Structure 1
Amino acid sequence: STRFIQKYIDNTASIEPMDRLLILSYTRPTNLEATLYEPVCCLILQGRKETGVGDATVSFGVGESLIVSHETPVVSRVTSATLSQPYIAMILSLDIGLMRSLYEHVGSNELDLGNAKAFNVHKTDQNLIDAFYRYLALAGNPTEEKVLGPIILKEIHFRLLMAPHGGMLRRLLHHNSHESNISRAIKQIRKTFKNPLVIPELAMEVGMSPSSFHKHFKFVTKTTPLQYQKDLRLLEAKRLLSLKSHSVSRTAYEVGYESATQFSREYARKFGVPPRHDLGPV
């Protein structure tokens, strides 16, 4: 129940009571915020949230969960939260290595590879909710965390792998699938996002033709490779500006822009304010 969760929150917006598990709480709706989602499962216990990726938006609430299979730049906001009924969500960072070992045990024959979306919302199975609560209940007991934590974490990953909205996870783990190739491409773009992006080279690197690469990249991420790279650059720029250690023009060049003017224009388009606004007084 949410009352069980409240004792962990203690009026803070976020807390990490267990390895890989974050609890978020808000007492009022939030503004749209751009961020980068790693592979996660977000389970809402109270309130509602809206998440946009590329040209798609999903809205989900109590008892529903969102599975994100690939690292993806998103914009999101809490749409329903009050002082008496705060937004509360549990967010689990997925261990893809653990999931891969489970996938090998289950065998691809038993898994439905359909219903695959990188952002998939579904009503959460009660067994999965119970596993989340059991995992959280270990917090504060080091011996139980150490012994039982990995076991329950394994169960959660197994249930996500088998979930109706886990189709993209299953495809990601399927050897040499388009989705696993795109995952490799994403890692490469993230590693070298400051450099010019040469699509034919990247496509060849992951064993795809440029046209197939474009098509499947858009299917998985809901955006184009160039827009994906641009989002990474702008998110990194926002982080650098928040440190107040870079000027606007230096930040632009630092994240790969050749023109500070173009950078300022695209930054304002994405975040709604010019970069100097986020730099503030130095």
Structure 2
Amino acid sequence: MCLILQGCKVTSIGEQRVDLCAGEALLVSHDLPVTSRITNASNAAPYIALILSLDMGMVRSLYDQVADANIPEARARSLSAWPADPAWLAPLTRYVELMDNPLDAQVLGPSILREIHYRLLLSPNGGMLRRLLIADSHASRIAKAIQMLRREFRATLSVSDLAHSAGMSASSFHEHFKAVTGTTPLQYQKDLRLIQARALLVEKGWSVSETAFAVGYESPTHFSRDYSKKFAVPPSRDRVSPS
């Protein structure tokens, strides 16, 4: 969960695009290769955000208690944005304030964190998070395929392989994968490769060719074309020359 405290940014994956400004929050229920760009910030008012990693074990421990709650799920998406809700903003504020007192953090932190997770599960935008916890739901099956994609994103994977890992037919898997993630399985894999490639270029200064092969591309030309399309600059422009 990401809460924007100051400034604005845009986050996207596939056909989904979410614009966020101060006072709004983003909830990501699945492991998605999203890209983000800060759209409003300055030296006087820099972009500031608070990110909270959700504890899925804690979420699961709460599910039985909220499973029967009558909560609207019209916006049950893996990438959801909405104005900060006082119901979970209040415990989140208390949780952050504990940083100044280690003993309070140790004693009170776990219960406050549990309350934050509870409030997020109950929120209208927690719909996909709730579906993820239902055994054998489409959301949970897609999550299994995502784990496989994450582990083997460099390998050549077919939709039928991924569908088998999720226990679904190829056509049903493709449909539900896009409904959950906002993108296709192969585009998801491509995004994983390109995001990893950008890190290798920017942080390690690898050459375009060795980066292409390292993330699973067979052709540096094909890699450069995909990279330029996604990031609007050629990979050679992002490469940091080794010092």
Same fold (TM over 0.5): yes
Question: Amino acid of the residue matched to residue 104 of structure 2?
Answer: E
Residue pair 1:47, 1:62 contacting (<8 A) in 2 also: yes
In structure 2, the partner of 1:240 is 200
| TM-score (norm. length: structure 2) | 0.92
Report whether the alignment pairs 1:43 with 2:7. Answer: no
1:200 equivalenced with 2:160 (yes/no) = yes
> Which residue is equivalent to 2:67?
108
Larger mean Cα displacement after TM superposition, 168-177 or 67-76: 67-76
Distance 2:223 2:16 in 1: 25
Change in CA separation of 1:132 and 1:195 when aligned onto 2, cut-off 3 Å: same
Distance 1:135 1:69 in 2: 21
Name 2:133's counterpart in structure 1.
Answer: 173
Q: Distance in 2 between matches of 1:226 and 1:48?
A: 30
Range with greater deviation from structure 2 (262-271 or 190-199):
262-271
Deviates more, 1:260-269 or 1:217-226: 260-269
Work out whether 1:74 is the aligned partner of 2:34: yes
1:150 is matched with which residue?
110
**1:249 pairs with 2:209:** yes
Q: Cα distance, 1:252 vs. partner?
A: 1.0
State the one-letter code of the partner of 2:147: K
Distance 1:111 1:100 in 2: 18
- Give the number of the structure whose residues are more often helix, by fraction: 2
| Superposition RMSD in Å | 1.7
CA deviations 1:95-130 (Å, max 9, x no partner) are 1121111112x1422253722111112222213111
Using the TM superposition, name which of 175-184 and 45-54 deviates more: 45-54
Identity %: 51
**SS of 2:2 mapped into structure 1:** strand
Partner of 1:19: none
Aligned residue for 2:230? 270
Structure 1 residue 44: Cα displacement: 2.1
**Which amino acid in 1 is paired with 2:69?**
E
**Which residue identity does 1:59 align to in structure 2?**
D
Aligned-partner Cα distance in 2 for 1:48–1:243: 25
**Change in CA separation of 1:107 and 1:134 when aligned onto 2, cut-off 3 Å:** closer
Alpha-carbon distance in 1 for matches of 2:217, 2:193:
8
- Please give the secondary structure, in 2, of the residue aligned with 1:79: strand
Q: Distance in 1 between matches of 2:43 and 2:84?
A: 25
1:229 maps to 189
Change (3 A) 1:251 1:67: same
Q: Does 2:59 align with 1:99?
A: yes
Structure 1 runs not aligned, ≥5 long? 1-40
1:227-264 C-alpha deviation (Å, 9 max, x unpaired): 00001011111112223363221111111111111111
Deviation at 1:84, TM superposition (A): 4.3
